[in-house]
């Protein structure tokens, strides 16, 4: 029944999120949650209503996570503005240099250091083992440090930093 209603569920999700890709992802997440919890369903005739509730909750979780992430980014931006000049320079430079790193390094740094994902969650999201994630994060931080040294000629004492 859920497979037959897929297009209706997808249309429902699309009206509640920013993009069609998000809607597809959230529908897949909701289907996985439903499959894991199907044994808890008491009334088989209420399957459709129950799944809509699962889908709504999945969408709500998505919006809550989006809001948390936006809040953290706003806080980082405020801290950069309010920070002493040397701290602001480090933060501003590191965010700019991040985009010059290898994509795999930039992604794990964003997930762990900016989005504050746990290393295990980041590993799952990247489809790698936790040990691989730990090594990748270490190498990514090392590459960021090297890029900052190359770009700014410093990592910590940015008062003498010539970049802008």
* CATH node for 85-160: 1.10.10.10
Q: Given a cut of 50, is residue 83 above it in pLDDT?
A: no
Domain ranges of the chain: 6-67, 85-160
Q: What is the pLDDT of residues 25-74, one digit of tens each?
A: 999 999 999 888 888 777 666 888 889 999 999 999 998 888 887 777 66
Q: What is the pLDDT of residues 109-153, one digit of tens each?
A: 889 888 889 989 999 999 988 888 898 998 888 888 888 777 776
In the chain, where does DSSP find H-type helix?
A: 6-14, 20-37, 47-82, 85-98, 103-109, 119-126, 130-152
pTM for the full predicted model: 0.47
Architecture of domain 6-67: Orthogonal Bundle (1.10)
Local structure of 112: helix, strand or coil: helix
Give the pLDDT confidence score for residue 148 in this predicted structure: 78
Q: Do domains 6-67 and 85-160 have the same CATH topology?
A: no
Confidence of residue 159 (pLDDT cuts 50, 70, 90): very low
């Amino acid at each position: 029944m859920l497979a037959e209603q897929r297009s209706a569920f997808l249309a429902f999700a699309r009206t509640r999120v920013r993009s069609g890709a998000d809607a597809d992802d959230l529908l897949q997440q909701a289907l996985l949650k439903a499959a894991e919890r199907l044994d808890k369903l008491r009334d088989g005739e209420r399957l459709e209503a129950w799944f809509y509730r699962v889908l709504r909750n999945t969408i709500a979780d998505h919006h809550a996570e989006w809001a948390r992430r936006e809040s953290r980014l706003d806080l980082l931006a405020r801290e950069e503005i309010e920070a002493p000049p040397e701290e602001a320079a480090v933060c501003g430079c590191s965010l700019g240099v991040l985009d010059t790193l290898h994509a795999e390094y930039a992604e794990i740094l964003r997930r762990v250091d900016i989005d504050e994902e746990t290393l295990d969650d980041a590993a799952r999201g990247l489809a790698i083992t936790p040990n691989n994630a730990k090594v990748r994060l270490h190498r990514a931080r090392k590459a960021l440090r090297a890029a900052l040294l190359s770009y700014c000629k410093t990592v910590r004492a940015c008062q003498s930093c010539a970049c802008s």
